[in-house]
Structure 1
Amino acid sequence: MLSYQHIYHAGNLADVHKHSLLAWMLEYMTRKDKPISYIETHAGRAIYDLKADEALKTGEAAMGINRARQWFDPNHPYTKSLQQTAQTDGVNAYPGSPMIAVHRLRETDRITLAELHPGEHSALELALPTAICRRTDGFAMAHSMLPPTPRRGMMLIDPSFEIKYDYETIPSHIRKYARAWNVGIIVLWYPVLTSSAHGSMLKILQNEHPQALRHEVRFPPARPGHGMIGSGLFVINPPFGLAQEAANLKARFDTLS
């Protein structure tokens, strides 16, 4: 859906959950001296101004990264990306997942990003000239390029879920991705909703990928009546140590309840 723009939600608690574990996984993968492929299906603009009117309107960053920054020590890869962004773009800038990938990866690694929204895609290209930025449907792009070269790597699937049938079609996409790229780390982010709209999708995914890691955190709604009360990651072929890192993060989120 081309109406969605993440600037309204940048730096919220779901971003803290998703981006801190993404940064950890990418840093873990680069410990080996082998190139990797990083693919993202719904990239957004890569960098966000948390003092922009859109961000201030929702106040989600104030409840999110501004509150949770202290959870991470200076050597955590997420902290490093936050600091790199502040140094290059100012203290009010927040890195999206493509920028975190650029921070954590090396010149030998290959980054391919999809973003369909024309304005977001233009901003993405401007922010990340070294990445391959395609203005196309991310699900279709991933199907067309799997398995990638290099074969070792990760894909982040991070749709807005404003298109309601995403919950119905995502299991089929992931089934095909996992079959075509059986060594790839496939990461799906999803919202935890009061409506439980994500429930049937997760049931299918868990039945089809029983060895995957499902990790969820809960937090208070951003405003009264807001339907998102948590954030989830479903990770196929999770890296060693991710479950413990995720458990440590959940303990931090539990203090918010």
Structure 2
Amino acid sequence: MPRRVLVIEDDPDIGRLVTLQLAELDCECRLMTDGVSGLAEGEAGHYDLVILDLMLPRMDGLQICRRLRALPHYTPILMLTAKSSELDRVLGLELGADDYLTKPFSMLELAARVKAVFRRADLQQATAERAQQAQQPIEAGGLRIDLQRHEALLDGRRLDLTAKEFELLAYFARSPGRVHTRAQLLDQVWGYSHSGYEHTVNSHINRLRNKIERDPGNPDYIQTVWGVGYRFAER
């Protein structure tokens, strides 16, 4: 879908050129020519990017940047300015601008900066979504692993797991079907990979099986892959 961009720029020529360039990038643009109306639009609308001039009538860009950063949702801000001093750049970035472009600038440079802002925003969103998904409860048969509450239930009954047993179970359950060697489990769950400690993995898995398996001798969840390691059964 097209990206929505709010341009707050009082120079009509620059505003026209910026919106034309953004249209080439498949963006839908709204142009505001003074600070007060620009802030009102930025607070009321949902935009993927705000391109903000520093020197504006009625309210300057630094004030607008500060106000936009106080909102609960995050919108990337690319600041435009005729001022080139280091102090102005640092102040704009400290107030929350994502990037800074000094006039005069080429439209090719503007396009490159806009694309870079969009790439960073997409990466941040994808990272946040992965983190959120990683905290979702995992369910496998009658087993439920609640990562946020740090508890596991079997058929609705809370299991009495130690902290390391829970970490081991959660690590297995995040990648069902994948085979893990004892050395990999030591490295990922315990944080070290000394081969002499592989018996630690065996003892923890045996205790974990006694707590989660209906028949520990014939496990449904944590299965042995002979000569390799262990895996969590696919469901």
| TM-score category, normalised to shorter length | 0.3 to 0.5
Q: Which structure would you say has the larger RCO, counting Cα contacts within 8 Å and 6 or more residues apart?
A: 1
- Is the radius of gyration larger for structure 1 or structure 2? 2
TM (norm. structure 2) is: 0.36
